[in-house]
Structures are given as structure tokens and as C-alpha cells.
Amino acid sequence: MQDVIEALNEAQQEAVQHIDGPLLILAGAGSGKTKTLTTRLAYLISEVGIDPLNTLTLTFTNKAAKEMRERASRLISTQTSSMPLLCTFHKFGLLFLKLHIEKLGRKNNFVIIDSDDKKRILKRIAKEHSIDLNISFIGSEISKYKNTLLTADEILKKAELPDYRKIATVYKDYETEIIENNLVDFDDLLMLTYKILEQDKELRRETSNRYQYIMVDEYQDTNELQFKLLKLLASEHGNLCVVGDDDQSIYGWRGANIRNILEFSTHFKGTKTVKLETNYRSTEPILKAANELIEHNSQRIGKKLSSFKGVGDAVKLLHALDESLESKSIAREIKELLAKGVPADEIAVLYRINALSRSLEEGFTKEGVAFKLLGGMRFYDRAEIKDMISYFRVFANPHDDFSLERIINKPKRAIGKVTVDKLKKGAFENNSSLFTFMKERELAGVVSKKASNSLKKLVEQIELLQHELNHSLYNFIELFEESIGLKKYYASMVDGTERVQNIDEFIGYFREAISKNPNLTLDIFLNDISLQSDQDNIDENAVTIMSIHASKGLEFEHLFVIGLEEEFFPLLGEGCNMEEERRLGYVAITRAKSDLTLSYVDSRFYKGQRKRIEKSRFLGEAGLINDTALKISKSKMYKKGDLVKHKIFGIGRVQGATKSGKEYKLKINFGGHKKEILSSFVQMV
């Protein structure tokens, strides 16, 4: 064990050998956090003599838990007869509830329902109340409520908008049903565990005393419920060690609370903080860009990565006129790398929003570069794009029963499976297509009156759009959304913004195809798509394309990041969190080992139209381009993110600076109170 510890760097050794009291290991990208965490667990058991059964190590994924379990078992002394509990938060909740759920008046033979089961229950309850809201949206909101410990009654009291009162009504009936049937959903595994521990003080003491040493991986990703649960578990001893990186907190949109890590030392008195700042992954130029970018954030504890590998090639910038040329340039560069013998799995392309994958997929297919899409569907495989293509196929050939069946109830037209089965039976008996049967037969006696009216309207819409196809493809695409409303249908979903972006990307691609080929027909366009969406010879030996979110925890020798433009990366507008966008930039850059290319274009499709766009502010903030707007805020004395002290207001963080006579006027955030102060009245901390 001693030789393993001696192989660690000084900061890692300090973290490993800390025994009692709260410990925050601030682990920068590529700094060996997993090695540090597993070595600390082994040290406590093999060197200090802590019983493995008195330890608890929590992770977020089964994959991470498996890897850490394997690493730890290799380090732990073979004399140990028992193994430590190392699992996900939710697995811990399951184990706990099997032992103690009776304290809530429930039986321990409960059944865990999956997301599909949950949707079916919610769909039935919503139908009973005549609530016509998207089921995925209802499910997502209920999940949020459980993870913030809000009951249906509390939501009913607080909700001001009618839709949220409807959700609370469904939530209340849903909870009644799953309790009556002794079911639990995924969120219950933690919520019910917390409730039991919070209500039963004796059991809380017993559980906390059992798990004397608790460790948590990826702490920056914890939500409010997980934080509260950890406080209860560590309440008797305070021996809570968390490992994380505030600069890699990128899941705010799904409930992760960055304040958990930023305020750890406030919540757990006497915290020891150890910073792991030696990066073993990337070269110095890559880390310099990452450090300079993230320094512009004010919500961070602060650290600076240094490269163990040392010098390397400068970060490259790729500038193209549009996304087609961008993808072609990247595909050709990758072909050169592959020709030199670079393994395909050491090459990746990242993007901020999924809609950008379409041009990459097209460009790579044309250049014959095999690729795999990680952590998401290929563009033409996404439900909303399949719906668009199915509509187009119906307009080109209304007798395409397969495509018509796909879109017959999208958007919803009160046409369910029973109605479709009746239509198919009628069409078969009359030896006709579905469309012909719907158009020529009186449907009132076959299906319900509501369904009959909907089908009649759908036939009229198809014929109207077919007519427009023969006159103007430009007008056709405008009329399509106006009459069908597919974007409006998808906009109401939980991930509606992304789905609408994908539809806009498809529409924009269609418009550009029209402008490039005056003789284009819908048949030609659909045939081209079929060729692009059927990538040949795909195997594991392929270049990886993925979102930045999906890339977290991975690393590549050669990395390309596309879409470095305002409104694409960073995203702008309502709900945008610029500091989280910057953290995404930091995560993207630090995936690269030695070769990093950041790409931006002059124009790109945006909301279905080609638009000229500005290059991303992040290129300037990372010190990769000369941006005059940044020169003042990054002056030799003060830069965005600096901590300063004022004799009255105390410690604050600089958010910006402007020239004011012979000195600078600083915008400073003093713990939430923002002031403009002349630089001569503050000093650096």
C-alpha cells in the first residue's frame, strides 16, 4: 500500500491520508480523481484498519461504481473478508428501503416501476381528469417535485398557472395509486429513504454510525435531495469526503445544484480542502485556453490546472463560410489523420446542440469517414425528423400506408390504435390504400365522429400541400408548418426546444437544397436523405461524434469542437446560464490530450433560416483571438473573476471593468450585491 501512496503526487497523498472530518477534494479535469478516491478507500481499510462495512462510497452511474469497485479491490488487503459498499445513490436507496420501508407503513416486497410504467399510469390518470398535457412533461415535473421534497398538496397551494395545478392533480392521484399497489418509482428510492431518516432519529443515528466514512464521487452533480440525504448520513460523525470539480458542473438543467460544492465548507464546518491541479491528460496550450476561459466565471472556488505533459502544439482555429464547408474540412483533416495511422477511437468531434450533428453526418458520409454517434441518436433517426420525412413521403405519395400510419396522429387528432386498425381493415377489404379509403369512403359509420372529422381535415391538408408542391417548394414549406403545426406539437414536450431546433435544421437544409437546385423535386430530396441516413460499413473502428454533455469523463488525442458562435455556443436567450455555458466550454477543451481544433463559421442555419453569426466570445475569453472587448476586463491589474476587497463591502468578485479616466471602473459582485467601484478603492485578495 505504501508504494501506491508514494506514486501519488503531493496533493493526492494529502487527500488520501486525511482520515477524520469533512474533506473536499477539488479535482480538476484529468487530475486523477478516481485514483485518489479509490486509494483513499483502500488506505482507510488496509492501513488505518477501518472495517469495510463502516464505509460507504456513492457514485452516479453503475459503470463508475463498477470501475471504482474493481480498482479498490485490487488495492485493498487480501486479509479483508468483507468488501465495502460502493454503489450508486439509487442502489443505496433500494437497499435501505428493503430494510426499513415498513416505517412508512409500506411492505418491503415493493416493485420498482420503470419510466414506461410510470408514463402509462400518468397517461391513464390524465385521461380520467381530461387533462391534455404532454405526459413526458408531467412526468418530468413530478420528478422535480420529488427531488425537492414537494408534495402534491404543496404544489396545489403554490401553483399559479392552470397547467401546474393540473400536474399537481395528476401527481396526487399518481402517488395514491403507487402507494396502494406498493410500487415505487426511481425518485422514490431517495425521497422515501430521506423521509425515513428524517423522521426516525434513532434509525438516523444508527445508520450514520454504521457508515462512519462516506465518500461521494462527482459531487458537483448532486441535487438538493442528495445533499440533504448526505447531511443526515454524516450527521453523527461528519466524516464526509466529496470529490468533484465546480468548473465541470454542467447539469443544472436536470437539477444539479452547483452551490452544493461551492458552499460545502459552509455546510460542513471544519472542512479541509485539497486541490488536485496537476493534469495528466492535456498539453500546456490546451490547459492555458481552458484556464483562461473558466477564469471569467465568478461562481467558482478557484484553481489552475498545470500540465504534467508540458509543451505541445498550439490550439488551432478552423474558420469556414458555412457548416457544409466546416464539416468537409474536418472530414478531410480526419482522413489525413487516419491515413497516418491514428486510431479512429482517438478522434472525436463535439458540438453544443444536437441539431449541429446533421451537417457533420452529411459531410462525413460524403467523404467516406466512418463515424458513430455517442450518447444520442443520429439526426435522421430522431422521432421529430422521422415524422418530417414521413409527412414529406405522404405528400410525394399519399398511398404510402407505412408513412401515413406514422403521422396520422401527430399532432394528436384523437386517432388511436383502435381507429387505425379499423381504417386498415376497411382499406384491406376495399383493396385500397389508407388514403384512398379515408378520402372516398364515408367514415362516420367506421370510426367515431370526432375521429372522422379529424381524418377528413387531414385529407384536405394533404391535398392542399400536394397542390402547393406543384407550384412552389418555398411556399410549400411555409404552408406545411402553418397547416400541420408539427413544431408547435413538439414544442410542448420536456425536450421541446431541442426538437424544434432539429426541425428548424431540417427545414433549413430543405430550403438550401432548393436554392442550390432549381429543378429539385420532393422525390429527389427524399432519395438524397435516404442515402445520407444509411451510413455503410459502420463498426467500432469509427470516429466519435457527440454532444459536449455526452463527452464528460472521456478523452481523445485529436479533438474538434464545432459551432463556436454566439447563439450556438454559448447559447443565448431566456433561461441561458452563461456560467454553465462557460463550464461546458471548459469541459469540451479539457477532453483533448494533445491536438485541439475549435471551429466557427460565418453563417449557419438558425430557426430554419440561414443567418450570419458572430464568432463565440469564448474564443476571446480563452485567449485564442484578439478581442478588443476583452482587453479592458483582462487588463494587467484586474480581470473578470478576480477577488477584491473593499473596506466597507468586504470581499467581492470582479465581473467586468471599463476605463474611467486614469483608472478603471469595476463591476463587482459582493455576495449578491452588485456595485460599481473605482479600482483605487479596492485591493486584490
Cell 478576480, residue located: 642
Containing H/E element for 594?
A: strand 592-601
d(CA 647, CA 145): 43
Which long-range contacts does 611-618 make (Cβ < 8 Å, 24+ apart)?
Answer: 613/565, 613/566, 613/567, 613/568, 614/565, 614/566, 615/564, 615/565, 615/566, 616/564, 616/565, 616/566, 616/568, 616/569, 616/570, 617/566, 617/570, 618/293, 618/564, 618/569, 618/570, 618/582, 618/585
Given 33, 410, 439, 583, which residue is catalytic? 33
Given 300, 352, 358, 591, which residue is catalytic? 591
d(CA 387, CA 378): 14
Selection from 115, 173, 175 nearest residue 139 by Cα: 115
Given 34, 273, 278, 461, which residue is catalytic? 34
Q: Which residues pair with 274 in a beta bridge?
A: 25
Count of residues making up the chain: 685
- Does 590 qualify as catalytic in the annotation? no
d(CA 259, CA 599): 32
- Does 218 qualify as catalytic in the annotation? yes
Selection from 619, 617, 584 nearest residue 598 by Cα: 619
- Does 217 qualify as catalytic in the annotation? yes
- Does 591 qualify as catalytic in the annotation? yes
Say whether the peptide bond before residue 570 is cis (omega within 30 degrees of 0): yes
Given 248, 299, 365, 597, which residue is catalytic? 248
Would you state the cell numbers that stand for residue 361, as one nine-digit string?
Answer: 453526418
Would you state the cell numbers that stand for residue 6, as one nine-digit string?
Answer: 508514494
Question: Is-contact 86 38, C-beta < 8 A?
Answer: no
Three-state SS at 295: coil
d(CA 391, CA 388): 5
Would you state the cell numbers that stand for residue 248, as one nine-digit string?
Answer: 465541470
- Does 33 qualify as catalytic in the annotation? yes
Residue 445: count other Cβ atoms within 10 Å of its Cβ: 7
d(CA 213, CA 247): 26
d(CA 553, CA 244): 12
- What single string gives the DSSP state of each residue in 304-342? --EESS---PPPEEEEESSHHHHHHHHHHHHHHHHHTT-
Ramachandran angles phi, psi of 427, nearest 5°: -65, -40
Residue 4: count other Cβ atoms within 10 Å of its Cβ: 15
- Per-residue burial over 321-339, b if 16 or more Cβ lie within 10 Å, else e, is eebbbbbbbbbebbeebbe
Given 185, 218, 387, 579, which residue is catalytic? 218
Q: What is the dihedral of CA 154, 155, 160, 164, to 10 degrees?
A: -170
Q: Which residues pair with 316 in a beta bridge?
A: 597
Ramachandran angles phi, psi of 449, nearest 5°: -65, -40
Given 185, 217, 361, 504, which residue is catalytic? 217
Question: Is-contact 284 314, C-beta < 8 A?
Answer: no
Selection from 551, 584, 558 nearest residue 283 by Cα: 558
Ramachandran angles phi, psi of 222, nearest 5°: -70, 150
Cell 438524397, residue located: 528
Q: What one-letter code names the amino acid at 389?
A: I
- Does 413 qualify as catalytic in the annotation? no
Cα-based distances in Å from 160 to 72, 164, 584: 51, 7, 34
By annotation, the residues acting in catalysis are 33-34, 217-218, 248, 591
